Amino acid sequence: MKLKGRRIVGGKAEGEVIVSRKPPLSFLGGVDPETGIVTDAESDIRGQSIAGKILVFPRGKGSTVGSYVIYALKKNNRAPRAIIVEEAETIVATGAIIAGIPMVDDVDVSKLRPGMKVRVDADSGEVEILEDKE
């Protein structure tokens, strides 16, 4: 199954998804740039690592410094392989741009579940579900 979205940052990535359903996600103070572990006490993925995963969430929030947290994740090799959101806002989009992380928005994230394997073609705005463990 393919989901259609909109390209924010081009590129391709494949991997397992980690899904946050509780909006919004803040990177500043909510994700440790050294480890890639979500530390936000209100997050439904608190304690999980986003490193090397396809990060799926409804939308982001927070200070513009959150963009630099995304960049720091990339520099520390702890960034997600790609980002899929329902609604791109400037903090996450800017972070993905400066870090070179493929990003797609306008995707129905309710169709994605933790553990699924997906292929993100951000150039065309498509997310292809490769494997669903359920």
Please list the active-site residues: 63
C-alpha 32/C-alpha 109 separation (Å) is 24
Q: Contact, 84 vs 116, CB < 8 A?
A: no
Tokens representing 8 are 């924010």
Pairing type for strands 2-4 and 12-19 reads unpaired
